[in-house]
Structure 1
Amino acid sequence: MKKNSASKTEALKTRQKAPLATPSDLRAAATRDITGAMNAILADVYAIYLKTKNFHWHMSGPHFRDYHLLLDEQGDQLFAMTDPIAERVRKVGGTTLRSIGHIARTQRVLDNDADYVEPQDMLAELREDNKTLAASLREAHGVCEEHSDIATASLIEVWIDETERRTWFLFEASRQGSGPA
């Protein structure tokens, strides 16, 4: 019995030491830089996703239905970004986020743990978070261009467009008044 347990322990140690570096024609510096940029993006996307769902769950007021549905749609779009981001990191030879703690240590977007947030403040906060994400995506795009990672840069271009759309919708949904006469 001890022999079997010892061989399982040895096998586990071997698996833990097994390299995860996916073969790539990118240089080690490119893998490092792209992995760092994209893991930060991934952490921010998870943070904005959870904040969006938090505000979706806790929305109230006269525009409840519209805002609730808007935030649900935006949350779905954010969550849909997470797997392609992580898979790009793995495709270029890097490793990605491993836990909620790792996300918390990496994210640049601030959490909102308030017991109550006014609906207009929710929309404004998410609008600013999405604007910040768009700027971060542009920076990551520059890193990808620097290292000729066309595939990641191409995906980032779509995510920038989606992020700008979320920002636009949040801006328009939070406008006061009826517009020009």
Structure 2
Amino acid sequence: MQPINIGITETDREAIAHGLKQLLADSYTLYLQTHNFHWNVTGPQFRELHLMFEEHYTELATAVDDIAERIRTLGVAAPGTYKAFAALSSIEEVEGVPEASEMIRLLTTGHEQIVRTCRSALARAQQGDDESSAALISDRMRQHEKTAWMLRAMLG
């Protein structure tokens, strides 16, 4: 393959891609968790939560593709297995099927974790003068901050 010459050193591209890999793993793990909760939610808020979770996992599905494509743009292979995601993700797996309010709490925690992952990845992108990755990460951070706020509001 032809060498990459986009004005970012190979060392910086690899460091930025590592932060993006962590963001990808967290996003994919939260996608799976949200989809699981969409399938299994019960209770008086069933319809509202079922539809909201669908909106969230649909948005996350688009996000994981965008993040993976940015990693590839930097010339690094994107992780794509459960094993790789488990090793990179900061979001813990959920055992069983929690109650609806616990689902909301867990998803809030997951979105907040992704915001923290974004902050770390953003610093790497800024250090490497990678405005494209910084913009992507900043957009993701804003989305997760807003989603966490809305989920927290549901908890009272």
TM-score by length of 1: 0.81
Matched with 2:33 is 51
Aligned residues of 2:14 and 2:74 also touching (Cα < 8 A): no
Give unpaired runs (5+ residues) of structure 1: 1-18, 176-181
Matched with 2:73 is 91
Aligned residues of 1:21 and 1:94 also touching (Cα < 8 A): no
Matched with 1:130 is 111
Higher relative contact order (CA 8 A, sep 6+): 2
Q: Does 1:101 align with 2:83?
A: yes
- Counterpart CA distance in 1 for 2:82 and 2:43 is 31
Taking a change above 3 Å as real, the CA distance of residues 96 and 53 of structure 1, as seen in their structure-2 partners, is: same
Q: CA deviation at 1:25?
A: 2.5
Q: Does 1:64 align with 2:82?
A: no
Aligned residues of 2:90 and 2:113 also touching (Cα < 8 A): no
Aligned residues of 1:20 and 1:93 also touching (Cα < 8 A): no
Taking a change above 3 Å as real, the CA distance of residues 35 and 64 of structure 1, as seen in their structure-2 partners, is: same
- Counterpart CA distance in 1 for 2:2 and 2:84 is 18
Asked which structure has the greater CA Rg, the reply is 1
Q: Does 1:147 align with 2:128?
A: yes
Q: Does 1:161 align with 2:142?
A: yes
Aligned residue pair count: 156
1:117 counterpart (77, 98, 101): 98
Give unpaired runs (5+ residues) of structure 2: none
